[in-house]
């Protein structure tokens, strides 16, 4: 039997949030707020650092030089930001190049797509929840990433053959092309333990 998508989405979201009572009774609202602020700060920091690295590489050697930078620097910067803020941050997408979504990330990305289709601006597509992980409350936060003009060089509909070849050699299963300006390219995803 085939369930309609929204029902599946609702079911997965509910199973991902076993915490209702736990969160209210045990998670300290102050600690949760502090974790939220720390996570939002980490997203801002990652976004800014990535954009700067991309711009520098593009200016220095065009897309052919910038691809290896994205390939090695993006995961490295994610690790550094994760360590700096004491959480786990990465990017993911429904059409991934490097990082396919987990089950719950996919549900959220699909929810973002539906909200955008209904007219919500990408800048407002943010989602969070508190779950229990290994007996402790943990914040999950996602924020959508828009596709700008500069992204089209490597994610657009008319990627230069040499650029595409380079991308395909590094990511044989790449799905992250065919985007247009204003599309949702993916999202930042943070998981952060809430320390009481
Ligand atoms: C020079 C080529 C290039 C440009 C320009 C570029 N990207 Fe990427 N992008 C990549 C590569 C390569 C990866 C894979 C990085 C990795 O291995 O973690 C990637 C991965 C991503 C991911 C991670 C999700 C996934 O698909 O695995 C997101 C989100 C993303 N890019 C968004 C953007 C946005 C937004 C822009 C414009 C601001 C942009 N990219 C511009 C090459 C590029």
**Protein residue with least CA distance to atom 37, ligand 1:** 151
Residue 161 neighbours by CB distance under 10 Å: 7
Residue 5 pLDDT exceeds 70: no
Relative to the CA of 150, which ligand 1 atom is closest? Answer: 37
Phi first, then psi: give them for residue 86, nearest 5 degrees.
65, 50
pTM across the whole model? 0.89
Secondary structure letter of residue 16 according to DSSP: T
Residue 195: pLDDT band with limits 50, 70, 90: confident
Beta bridge partners of 190: 89, 141
Residue 9: pLDDT band with limits 50, 70, 90: low
pLDDT of residue 27: 65
Tokens 């990017």 appear where?
91
Ligand 1 proximal residues by C-beta, below 6 Å: 54, 63, 66-67, 70-71, 74-75, 91-93, 96-99, 145, 147-148, 150-151, 153-155, 176, 185-186
Contacts of 119 (CB under 8 A, 6+ apart): none
How, if at all, do strands 184-193 and 88-92 pair?
antiparallel
Task: Give domain limits for the chain.
Answer: 28-193
Q: List pLDDT tens digits, range 11-52.
A: 455 444 444 444 444 568 999 999 999 999 999 999 999 999
Relative to the CA of 99, which ligand 1 atom is closest? Answer: 27
What gap in Å lies between CA 11 and CA 4, rounded to an integer?
11
pLDDT of residue 134: 87
pLDDT of residue 13: 53
């Amino acid at each position: 039997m085939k369930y309609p998508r929204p029902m599946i989405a609702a079911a997965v979201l509910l199973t991902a949030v076993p915490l209702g009572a736990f969160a209210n009774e045990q998670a300290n609202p102050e600690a949760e707020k502090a974790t939220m602020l720390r996570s939002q700060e980490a997203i801002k920091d990652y976004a800014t650092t990535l954009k700067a690295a991309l711009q520098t590489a593009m200016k220095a050697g065009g897309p052919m030089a910038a691809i290896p930078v994205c390939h090695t620097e993006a995961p490295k910067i994610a690790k550094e930001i994760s360590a700096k803020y004491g959480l786990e941050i990465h990017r993911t997408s429904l059409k991934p190049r490097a990082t396919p979504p987990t089950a719950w990330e996919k549900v959220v990305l699909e929810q973002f797509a539906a909200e955008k289709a209904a007219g919500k601006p990408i800048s407002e597509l943010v989602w969070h929840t508190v779950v229990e992980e290994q007996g402790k409350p943990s914040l999950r936060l996602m924020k959508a990433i828009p596709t700008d003009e500069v992204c089209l060089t490597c994610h657009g509909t008319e990627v230069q053959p040499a650029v595409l070849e380079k991308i395909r050699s590094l990511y044989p299963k790449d799905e992250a092309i065919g985007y247009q300006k204003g599309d949702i390219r993916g999202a930042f995803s943070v998981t952060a333990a809430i320390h009481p």
